[in-house]
Amino acid sequence: MKEKRFKVGDKVTYKSKYVFTHGYCHGGNDLGGYVGEILEYKSFNDNRKSWEIEVTTNCGVDYCMLESEFEEYDKPKTVDLFPIY
């Protein structure tokens, strides 16, 4: 079992489903580049050697995805220069 890469509440960037041979493990639309928030860690998927996580989407519905379908999110420097109030 792998160590968890993220924590609940972390922002993560969706990888494009087209970088995976068969798309996302659980299907769904391509959300490549969208920044979601991890809501919950679920079980470890032994077949895919990755944790399953509940993540926000751009359509208002939360998805169960594989941790490996995301990359770390580094907030753009402009957010620090021009904070949103």
Q: Which domains, ranges and CATH numbers included, belong to the chain?
A: 11-81 (2.30.30)
Q: What is the pTM of this model?
A: 0.82
User: How many residues in total does the chain contain?
Assistant: 85
Per-residue pLDDT of the chain (85 residues; tens, 9 = 90+): 899 999 999 999 999 999 999 999 999 999 999 999 999 999 999 999 999 999 999 988 999 999 999 999 876 555 555 555 5
DSSP the chain: -PPPSS-TT-EEEEPPGGGSTTSSTT-----TT-EEEEEEEEEEETTTTEEEEEE--TTS--EEEEGGGEEE----HHHHHS---
